[in-house]
Structure 1
Amino acid sequence: MNSTPDDQTQPSKRQRADDGQAITLYAPPEENVDQNVDAGLRTSSLADPTMKLSGHKGSVYCIAYDPQGDLLCSGSFDTTCLLWKAGGNCENVAVLSGHKNAILDCRFTNDSEKVIAASADNNLGVFDVATGERLKRFMGHSSIVNAVDVSSEASPALAVSASDDCTVKLWDARVRGETGSLEDEYQITAVAYSNDGNSVYSLSINPKGTHILSNSMDGTIRSWDIRPFIEDNKKRHHKTFVGGTHNSEKGLLNCSWNSDGTMVTGGSADRIVHIWDELSAEELYVLPGHAGCVNSVVFHPKENVVASASSDKSIYVGELS
């Protein structure tokens, strides 16, 4: 399991050249430039501006930072989750095993003490971060569990999951079995707790709890107003972010906000991470470098860093300058 500097690329903010073409985020470093000269301009605790994390034996479908930003968790087709230090050389610190099929989603509880993983084996696993031990299984879904989320402010024992069995189930690690179930006509591919820990919504909710973000197979990421009272209840659609793509694989590509809700990002089948300004919907950064579909992208909760997971079995962690 390796975490190494990506010598091929160095990050720089997307800018417009004179001919209108975009300059990519992972641009090759200039020749004869002493990399230590700009050490004082570094914007994160990473040992290098861009790090490549290798260790999974299959496609990496999900990644998540713990609320403090100390650890990064990745989940893979290889049925394991790997825990990495979020700073320095991003060393691998634990392997979370026990599932019998691919890990499709993962979340840290809000106290950073546990990881909950959603798997194609129809179950969810609750793992101890300190020991790597599986503490509990949430069993009740009858098909693939596509997504999991946790309460950000209420008890760290609470979780919610979405499944191909057309249900959303509520869980409390302090009791046995599910505590509630919501049914739908179709498979449910995403789920999220609202900030108050009560309402359950699909997709990714912004830090203020006013909008959700969706990543659609029509090739767009969209934000939606979920406040209870707006002038025109029929006009919930807020903004559209264009640039990402989907392909015939129809993978479950995630989307997310940064910590203050000023930027959004999401997975894309074109092997590139796209990051947009939330206010203007302008694409700010592009991050080429992956050799496979980008399945998951998340922002660090405290630093100007983004992490991306790909079907090429690797994870990139890099500064946004």
Structure 2
Amino acid sequence: TFCQKCAVTSDKCPVDNAKLTVVVNNIAVAEQIGELFVHCKFGCRVVNGVGKSGTYEVDPQGCPFTVKLNTRKEHEENCDYRPVHCPNNPSCLPLLKMNLEAHLRECEHIKCPHSKYGCQFAGNQEAYHSHLTACRFEGLKEFLQQTDDRFHELQFSMAQKDQEIGFLRSMLGKLSERLEQHEKSIELKFDVLDENQSKLGEELMEFRRDTSMLSDELSHINARLNMGVLGSYDPQQIFKCKGTFVGHQGPVWCLCVYPTGDLLFSGSSDKTIKVWDTCTNYKCQKTLEGHDGIVLALCIQGNKLYSGSADCTIIVWDIQTLHKVNTIRAHDNPVCTLVSSSNTLFTGSLKAIKVWDIVGTELKPRQELTGLNHWVRALVASQNYLYSGSYQTIKIWDIRTLECVHVLQTSGGSVYSIAVTSHHIVCGTYENLIHVWDIETKEQMRTLTGHVGTVYALAVISTPDQTKVFSASYDRSLRVWSMDNMICTQTLLRHQGSVTALAVSRGRLFSGAVDSTVKVHTTRTRTRTRTHTRTHTHTCVQKCAVC
């Protein structure tokens, strides 16, 4: 058995250092100790002196009683020798409990019981009783007490509300954490869903492209059969890729061929224009630099090359020297398209077409054509008319008067490309469609389908026998359309990216694409040989397999 100090402050036995597991009170010993008599602490005083620190002795002026240890606390709480303070004023001298009553009769600091409401009275007991009869708060004490009680009730209610608010805040915190966890979980699921949807979209696009290719092949076969029956099919009109121009460091957005056909110009996202030899080695002859933005449009008039760019300018180049001769700030927005007619240049941008007079190396602004609803991405000048394409609209302008003489309504979003033949107006749209109108009646004849992406460019090759329209699309393909029967006779899939630009010259087709290359396509030149095992006349009825 040990004292409480030794047992509680150590986890080992003071005797043998064994680990203490359970420590309990020794009731028998505690009762024996509790019966011992001790002096009241108010009857003892600290011994002052060298070597006597912390020792006590009996104070003859203190409490004379000795009490059992068990009753010591009860005695000391009621001991007459216990020091107390005046309840009226803490600055009064310390007192013994036995003297407190006499002190209160003489204390000059007795406060009015209504001091908490603002009464300033302080005096002795006699003055206190006299004050109560005249105190203005005494008559209101019941009301003040009720107010106090109500105030305490409100405080208690407020404390309860504070606890409830604290609880609700903790619950709200937990709910916020759970909500955040759910949001993160949902975001992850949405990410997975988006990824799966993207994969499905790509697979669907590939499936559509493959389906389109198969459909084209079937159409091509049918066209061959039909043309063979009609006697108009010529296998030499099948276009083949003959060469590739490599050198740009970004997507090719526009092409233009010099009238003699020996030079090809290409504009790119790398802000340059490259000049290619189209007759011998297909190599770059020169790189023209000057724009601060993507080169979006090219046009040739006489011996001058005009280039439009996303930097909102037009640069004039001398084709003989291949040097820049002028720069014109043309629009407030990118110059999307250029076309020339005689000595007039037309430029297309956001909701505007500007008309410029070509005077040497200068461009003199003549007029601005307005009333357009969106970007003007396509311009074609044919005979005396200018054709402009914007959002689901083609406007036909008289070049001489610059008045709009006709409006064609389209579908499929913005018009990205226009081609004009001797009999048709053709346009390619954002939503994969190619619309065809009769050039005389302006009535829509057909909508050609097959592409699975924006139709960026159209080009025409006409011969006395037939007219072919070429279409270039986001789906990386080129399509050849016979305008005699409005069917696709061939599909070329030679580029690794979207085909964005076309140009024709001397029966050759040039195509530029996002894969940074330009390709040249020509008709195949091969001779068919037929071996007949019979001799035929015009009256032959039974035909061989060749016929």
Structure-1-length-normalised TM-score = 0.74
Contact 2:264 2:277 in 1 (8 A): yes
Residue 7 of structure 2 corresponds to none
**1:242 CA drift (Å):** 2.1
| Structure 1 stretches lacking a partner, 5+ long | 1-15, 24-40
**1:22 CA drift (Å):** 5.7
Equivalent in 308, 331, 345 of residue 118 of structure 1: 308
Contact 2:424 2:437 in 1 (8 A): yes
Residue identity opposite 1:213 in structure 2 = V
* Cα distance in 1 for residues equivalent to 2:335 and 2:425: 21
Residue 286 of structure 1 corresponds to 491
**1:134 CA drift (Å):** 1.4
**Superposed CA offset, 1:165-200 (max 9, x none):** x1000112315541111012322111122223xx32
How many residues in Structure 1 have an aligned counterpart in Structure 2? 262
Residue 456 of structure 2 corresponds to 253
**1:222 CA drift (Å):** 1.9
**Superposed CA offset, 1:130-180 (max 9, x none):** 2221122232311011100111xx23xx2101102x100011231554111
Residue 314 of structure 1 corresponds to 517
**1:218 CA drift (Å):** 2.1
SS of the aligned residue for 1:51 comes to strand
Percent of pairs with identical residues? 24
| Structure 2 stretches lacking a partner, 5+ long | 1-213, 222-234, 389-416, 525-547
Which of 1 and 2 has higher RCO (CA within 8 Å, sep 6+)? 1
RMSD: 2.7
Shift in CA distance, 271/176, structure 1 to aligned 2, threshold 3 Å: closer
Equivalent in 286, 289, 295 of residue 103 of structure 1: 295
**1:207 CA drift (Å):** 4.5
Shift in CA distance, 140/307, structure 1 to aligned 2, threshold 3 Å: closer
Q: How does 1:201-240 map to 2 (within 5 A)?
A: 201-202=387-388, 203-208=417-422, 210-227=423-440, 230=441, 236-240=443-447
**Superposed CA offset, 1:241-281 (max 9, x none):** 2222326xxxx712121144701112211111111111112
* Cα distance in 2 for residues equivalent to 1:204 and 1:70: 25
**1:206 CA drift (Å):** 2.5
Residue identity opposite 1:225 in structure 2 = D
Deviates further, 52-61 or 265-274: 265-274
* Cα distance in 1 for residues equivalent to 2:219 and 2:236: 26
Residue 37 of structure 1 corresponds to none
**1:217 CA drift (Å):** 1.5
Shift in CA distance, 149/280, structure 1 to aligned 2, threshold 3 Å: same
Contact 1:163 1:188 in 2 (8 A): yes
Structure-2-length-normalised TM-score = 0.45
* Cα distance in 1 for residues equivalent to 2:467 and 2:241: 22
Q: How does 1:140-219 map to 2 (within 5 A)?
A: 140-151=330-341, 154-155=342-343, 158-164=344-350, 166-174=351-359, 175-183=362-370, 184-196=372-384, 199-202=385-388, 203-208=417-422, 210-219=423-432
* Cα distance in 1 for residues equivalent to 2:426 and 2:420: 8
Q: How does 1:123-134 map to 2 (within 5 A)?
A: 123-134=313-324
